[in-house]
Amino acid sequence: MVSDSVMQQCAHRGSQQGARMVLVAGMASGQGKTTVTAALARRLMREGLRVRVFKTGPDYLDPMILQRACGSEVYALDLWMVGLDACKRLLAEAAQEADVVLIEGVMGLYDGDPSSADLAQAFGVPVVTVIDAGKMAATVGAVVHGLQHYGPVQLAGVILNRIASTSHRAQIEPALRDVPLLAHLPKLAESLPERHLGLVQPDEVAKLDEILDRLADRIELDMHAWQAMPSVHIDRIPAAEPLPQKLAGRRIAVARDAAFAFVYHANLACLRALGAEVVFFSPLNDEPLPEGTDGVYIPGGYPELHCATLAEAKRWQASMRTAHAQQVPILAECGGMMAMTESITDAQGKTWPMAGLLPGRITMHPKLAGLGMQWLTTDEGELRGHAFHYSTLQTTLPSIAQTVTRTKGKTGESLYRHGSLTATYFHAYFASCPAATARLFFRQDSQQEKS
């Protein structure tokens, strides 16, 4: 345990010179990046430090776990989807209010375009690599130095995951040579559970906070090596211009529960910045749309796991049908679109009736049916986002537009419109084009949307 005076000195130095900022990366998915980042965040907070956490790339589930670990909202960072300037503003703001900023990478360090390494290099953020050492010893050194020099990246240290014993660690440490061993986490009987889209949601994990506390207890952290890392300075850039209040006076109802939880914090912030009042309701609790709703946002999630409950949510379904009949604009993304169709056939082959606003049927599949960064060309500009789904839609409706994939420039997801409903598998990052976002929440024949 580090003394209070040392920690106070560390916190003071961070507040005076900027935050210690690292990108937590790995050589591949499955190395334990989220587990380690969550354990590290909670441990550093326990030491009296102010911690902010970010997640690289399009992801909803990892940020939920990380948010529980650190107690503050976890925003996405991506040079393409979020944008260089927006990423810089987020990091600069975090550095002003925190002693430590942790950025969890995505996939392997150099995977993707842009990659986690690209993000680290863009802002001069050192990398800490997580290595699952469960089936390695000295070879860990070769992996670490390969990751360091391939880019290269500024490698601040290593965190070893699933260490079997003290002797196991002793075999590895000399092989790291001049790269500091910042921390190690032993092989544990428990871990964060996963399902087909990634980690499960925090509320589904029994005693999650106790698990996170145990992880913080078990991570062995070398605070002297941590203190030796220099602070990272992110120059503040001018604040973005205030957005035109295109949604001023409009009440946007957002579905939020275990079935519809895939929402970027930045999406809600964008709606509010456009002037909207954001209110929430729960389809799983059979809550109807709130009174005075001017627009509806049904985001993605796991409706396929809650088909029985959604099929019996008669008040919610009736309120959606009424809103649709009254031409209230509705945006349904991925899981939200699934619940708007006539039915979902789940992984066990059972078919469940849904709200029926969108003609068509959903079928779940064991393999991915859509994946990757995409953009939608609109009159207002390029709306960026991603797709990630294990189901397909069968519908007779023609698409009104299609996204384009980021890496290959091929046709991506279809956009459908049926009355006031806009539905797609595409997860939009609203802040990438606020004007296009605002248009989605106006009646298609409205003159106000053109102002």
Amino acid in position 324? H
Q: Residue 398: pLDDT above 60?
A: yes
Judged by phi (left if over 0) then psi (alpha if -120 to 50, else beta), residue 177 lies in left
Per-residue DSSP letters for 59-107? -SHHHHHHHHHHSS--EEE-TTTT-HHHHHHHHHHHHHH-SEEEEE--S
Strand pairing class (220-221; 181-186) = antiparallel
Q: Which structural domains are found in the chain, ordered by start?
A: 4-228 (3.40.50.300), 251-450 (3.40.50.880)
Peptide bond into 114 cis (omega under 30): yes
Beta strand pairing call for 401-405 and 370-378: antiparallel
- pLDDT band of residue 136 (cuts 50, 70, 90) is very high
In the structure, what pLDDT confidence band is assigned to residue 3 with cuts at 50, 70 and 90?
very low
pLDDT tens figures, 144-178: 999 999 999 999 999 999 999 999 999 999 999 99
Say how many C-beta atoms besides its own lie within 10 A of residue 15's C-beta: 16
Instruction: Report, as an integer, the average pLDDT of 2-15.
Output: 40
- Report which of 179, 183, 188, 148 is spatially closest to residue 169, judged by C-alpha positions: 183
Strands 75-77 and 51-56: parallel
What distance in Å separates the CA atoms of residue 183 and residue 40, rounded to the nearest whole number?
Answer: 9
Least confident of 61-70, 111-120, 229-238, 401-410: 229-238
- Measured at the alpha carbon of residue 130, what is the angle toward residues 124 and 134, in degrees to the nearest 5? 165
- Measured distance CA(82)–CA(440) in Å, rounded: 19
**Order of strands, sheet of 427-428, starting from the edge strand that comes earlier in the sequence:** 277-281, 251-255, 295-298, 330-333, 421-424, 411-418, 401-405, 370-378, 381-389, 427-428
Residue 221 identity: L
Q: pLDDT per residue over 319-365, tens digit each?
A: 999 999 999 999 999 999 999 999 999 999 999 999 999 999 999 99
Degrees, nearest 5: CA angle 306-312-318: 115
Q: Give φ, ψ of 374 to 5 degrees.
A: -150, 165
Pairing of strands 411-418, 401-405: antiparallel
Q: What positions carry a catalytic annotation? A: 334
What is each CA distance from 341 to 236, 392, 418, in whole angstroms? 46, 12, 11
Number of alpha carbons in the 13 Å side-chain half-sphere of residue 94: 26
Nearest to 40 by CA among 217, 233, 237, 303: 217
Question: And the tokens for 403?
Answer: 């996204």
For β-strands 127-132 and 155-163, DSSP reports them as parallel
Q: Tell me whether strands 421-424 and 181-186 are parallel, antiparallel or unpaired.
A: unpaired
